[in-house]
Structure 1
């Protein structure tokens, strides 16, 4: 069952009525809040038809997964935001989807969030103060969405510093895998923040944008700057992780090259020795050297000088 939350000035408390009791008289008790987070599809359609919501906006509002966007019709505006609901950036399960359909006197919200504490914050604060308006609710929810990223990004800054120190001291494949997971999560977060930043950037710079009719330019600039800062932070952290990944790959490649250099030098020394051993291992009867009494020892001495000479040449070239 869907309930309408409204403030009763006589009782000075917030009251509830069933959505079927939404009348013009009740709409005079603005602001009103309808929470469709637990509503069925039929109930959602009932509300959309009752308030004459345009089909395209109604379809976007009722979707469980939709990228952040803003759209307006004559009476209602649709604002879809995405908050960050995971504990940290080690993995990304799904975003907190916040769908807001609002007019001057009615707010309809649909919040899909798997994190209980954030889900509580993504509800309008029903108070008796003078700022208890639909636009203040939308402003509060927008700031809550931006705040869901900020605290975790600030905590990740310290974690990233420790990760960088570990990589410089003793990098390994496990840390490399952690950095790749972080990069993947930050890329998804960055995409969500870019959408939301662009929503408020358009509202600031477009002439007669619908959002500018709801919020002051100061509020829009505040929203934009918050999401722009978050977007810049994710860009910076992603670049730092990329530098660490490239640094680890470069170090690993250098270590491999050093090992290959040693193997190459060993191969270079033993190739002529193997050639000599191959020549004198052919067992032809007419080989002149077979008649030398000290041929075996002479060949060993030659092979020894070849090996030592190769090592001396490598040392002279500073190859080891």
Structure 2
């Protein structure tokens, strides 16, 4: 699917690829071409003189985010949001931006929430008319803001687990934290790419001596991507700390249980020895004929048990 927003003589026209026949760069027209599919049509590649290397990167379904400068445009590859839930379950859509002086082309294999949000936005004409990079910066800002919104909500989830670790100590929570850590590792890598590409994009436009407004917008995008990168790093470390704490608590709890069982064993070993001694089937055991032998042995066993328990308490093993 190809759709076109064309700004001509101060008016915005939206439609299909047929509008490209009206685009005239020498007349000061501005155009935004959005392509959703597997390939960029040859006529668009020819009309805007898109380089084979950038086309190859754009049409691959998996490629790290990057920025490259070509003769007549800047190529930017980012990962937008298709699905991003509060539990950090996410699905990306790869978005390529071909940013020229008077045109911008966005290409993605599936629908992009950020691109769709700006396609019919009331400010699209204004940003596109002033400079296509301003429109791109707003799309990137929306992308980063959506990521940031979910990441900030996720902080509450970790805080709830952290506030009551004892209550949260269960196999389900341990598995949940492990899955969070895995997703955060992937997000950390993506946000790091976005931070670097945003910085590179800003540096390119500084070299081009762009006006201050473009610098402000690109710096705003960079700020958000830097924050996303730092948040993902912080949450990654925090989930690791929580996992370590929960495993330590589980180990401590197990050690306490084993200590109690060891004490019980230590108390009953001498008692079992006495019972076994007097349970032997010998005909002549002197104590068996003693009138108060039973009471003396039981009393000795009770005294021994109390003494051992008292000793363990004194040693703080109980």
Contact 2:96 2:108 in 1 (8 A): yes
Distance 1:189 1:48 in 2: 32
Counterparts in 2 of 1:115 and 1:309: CA distance versus 1, 3 Å? farther
Counterparts in 2 of 1:218 and 1:4: CA distance versus 1, 3 Å? closer
Alignment of 1:129-148 (within 5 A): 131-148=129-146
**Matched residue, 2:62:** 65
Alignment of 1:78-117 (within 5 A): 78-112=75-109
- Return the offset for 1:170: 5.5
Distance 1:171 1:277 in 2: 42
- Return the offset for 1:265: 0.7
Counterparts in 2 of 1:223 and 1:291: CA distance versus 1, 3 Å? same
Counterparts in 2 of 1:62 and 1:154: CA distance versus 1, 3 Å? same
**Matched residue, 1:6:** 6
Deviation track 1:160-187 (CA, whole Å, cap 9, x = no partner) reads 3334334355544433333333333333
Distance 1:25 1:204 in 2: 28
Distance 1:129 1:57 in 2: 25
- Return the offset for 1:196: 0.8
Counterparts in 2 of 1:210 and 1:26: CA distance versus 1, 3 Å? closer
Distance 2:239 2:311 in 1: 42
- Return the offset for 1:237: 2.7
**Matched residue, 1:213:** 208
Q: Number of aligned pairs?
A: 313
- Return the offset for 1:90: 1.1
2:44 pairs with one of 43, 47, 50: 47
Deviation track 1:12-65 (CA, whole Å, cap 9, x = no partner) reads 23254636955884664532222111x353x54553355443322111111233
Alignment of 1:1-320 (within 5 A): 2-9=2-9, 12-16=11-15, 18=17, 22=21, 25=24, 28-37=27-36, 39-41=37-39, 43-112=40-109, 118-121=114-117, 123=119, 125=121, 126-128=124-126, 131-167=129-165, 171-202=169-200, 209=204, 212-213=207-208, 217-285=215-283, 287=285, 289-290=287-288, 292=290, 294-320=292-318
Contact 1:81 1:145 in 2 (8 A): no
Contact 1:89 1:186 in 2 (8 A): no
Instruction: Give 3-state SS (helix, strand or coil) of 2:76's partner.
Output: strand
Contact 2:6 2:32 in 1 (8 A): yes
Contact 1:189 1:234 in 2 (8 A): yes
Counterparts in 2 of 1:112 and 1:143: CA distance versus 1, 3 Å? farther
CA root-mean-square deviation: 3.3
Counterparts in 2 of 1:84 and 1:162: CA distance versus 1, 3 Å? farther
Unaligned 5+ runs, structure 1: none
Counterparts in 2 of 1:99 and 1:241: CA distance versus 1, 3 Å? same
TM-score, length-scaled by structure 2: 0.82
Instruction: Give 3-state SS (helix, strand or coil) of 1:127's partner.
Output: helix
- Return the offset for 1:271: 1.1
TM-score, length-scaled by structure 1: 0.81
- Return the offset for 1:94: 0.8
Distance 1:253 1:85 in 2: 40
- Return the offset for 1:193: 0.8
Contact 1:123 1:141 in 2 (8 A): no
Deviation track 1:113-147 (CA, whole Å, cap 9, x = no partner) reads 6675x452254853156854211121111211211
